[in-house]
Chains A and B, each alone.
Chain A
Amino acid sequence: MTGLMANICLLTLLVVIVVMVMRTHRLFAVVVLSGAYSLICAVIFVNLDAVDVAFTEAAVGAGISTVLFLAAMAVLPGTEKQPPRAHTLTSNLAGLVIVVIVGGLLMVAAFDLPAVGDPNAPAQVHVAPRYLVESDEVLHIPNVVTTVLASYRGFDTLGETIVVFTAGLGVFLLLCGATRTARRRMARPEQDQGSGPDEG
């Protein structure tokens, strides 16, 4: 019962934060609020006993993303541009109808999902029992999440690491201008003025 009450409070807070993000035009407030959103998500994950996910959410979502957004904001104007006043009643109404229909469908579909922690759910009866038993008793690694992540699903994690590597390299090349065009321009500064920055 306490867990249910806590979850209701936390989910309400999430909705409040989302409404605040939508209402404000100051980007700094948006960044800080999204950090708070991640932190509350982390608490919800702890409530669901997903400590590793909560840890990641708190470190990445609330920590690093906030700092990265702030760093990116240093070169941006502080407030969001006002949207043009093109919202008529009919366009709003169409959006509302679509949102209600999609939301209704999702809620109907959600009733077919197994309950949280249901031992007969498909996810719990396939390979999960083997992982849970084998990880602790055969491999002596109590944290099953680590075993699944690094050992049973080692290929996936290798792919994830390569994705992270590629993303970092791509951002670095784009933002720091470490491209062939930039090199060429540096070698011959009087030429290549017209070429775009997006080459290479």
Chain B
Amino acid sequence: MKDNVILRVAAKILFAPIIVFGLYVQFHGDYGPGGGFQAGVIIAAAFILHALVFGLEAGRRLFPLWLNIWLLAAGVLIYGAVGVASMGLNGLFLDYNVLAASPAAGQHVGIILVEFGVGLTVTTVMLLLFHAFAGFSPNAFEEDDIVEGVFAEDDFGEDDIEEDAPDAADGEARQ
């Protein structure tokens, strides 16, 4: 889809507004419909649109795998950390009332932080799922060269997962 100028320009124009809308849904969840789950999906949709139009490899350059994995865990950890922090402030686990001067302000702080954790995890899980499915090769477990490609480096820090990405992206474009 890289060669289609209409898709390319449309994706470039849409990318930033989708992310802004996702952040609005994320942090406006107290006042309007939305919250972490919806915002996470919307932000992931922006990155998936980018990956669909510009290719999986470009998508991975924009949002590398190591960052994806770290943020995946960070979301759950932020949620749990809010609970532990409220315990540290002589409250119960996930008791937001003690997080700020007044219970109402504490609830606001707690809900915003918790929803942020949820949004982070949902975004990264959706991206991970998309790249896992779109970059999947049916022979991944038979062909050693693909396995080697996945683990070119020993840790997740440097590696690029999408050895076979262009094929998968093309296959998708043809559908």
Chain A: residues with CB nearer than 8 A to chain B? 28, 51-52, 54-56, 59-60, 63-64, 67-68, 70-75, 78, 138-143, 145-147, 149-151, 154-155, 157-158, 160-162, 164-165, 167-169, 171-172, 175-178, 182-183, 185-186, 189, 197
Tell me whether B172 and A168 are in contact (CB under 8 A). Answer: no
If over half of A's interface residues share one DSSP class (helix, strand or loop), that class is named, otherwise mixed; here it is helix
Q: Is B64 an interface residue (CB 8 A)?
A: no
Among A138, A142, A150, A169, the most chain B Cβ lie within 10 Å of the Cβ of: A150
A197 CA / B136 CA spacing, docked (Å): 14
Q: Is B108 an interface residue (CB 8 A)?
A: yes
A169 CA / B72 CA spacing, docked (Å): 9
Having A140-B104, A161-B121, one finds 19 other A-B pairs with CB under 8 Å, namely A63-B41, A64-B41, A67-B48, A67-B130, A74-B168, A75-B138, A75-B168, A145-B33, A151-B110, A154-B110, A160-B118, A164-B122, A164-B125, A165-B72, A165-B76, A172-B128, A176-B150, A182-B147, A182-B150
Number of A-B contacts (CB under 8 A): 181
If over half of B's interface residues share one DSSP class (helix, strand or loop), that class is named, otherwise mixed; here it is helix
9 nearest A-B pairs in the assembled complex, by CB-CB distance:
A168-B125, A197-B141, A71-B134, A71-B133, A154-B94, A175-B132, A74-B171, A51-B33, A59-B41
Q: How far is the CB of B130 from chain A (nearest CB, A)?
A: 6
A72 CA / B133 CA spacing, docked (Å): 5
Q: How far is the CB of A186 from chain B (nearest CB, A)?
A: 5
Q: How far is the CB of A162 from chain B (nearest CB, A)?
A: 6
Q: How far is the CB of A18 from chain B (nearest CB, A)?
A: 22
A169 CA / B172 CA spacing, docked (Å): 24
A59 CA / B172 CA spacing, docked (Å): 21
Tell me whether A75 and B137 are in contact in the complex, defined as CB-CB below 8 angstroms, given that A56-B37, A168-B72, A177-B150 are known contacts: yes
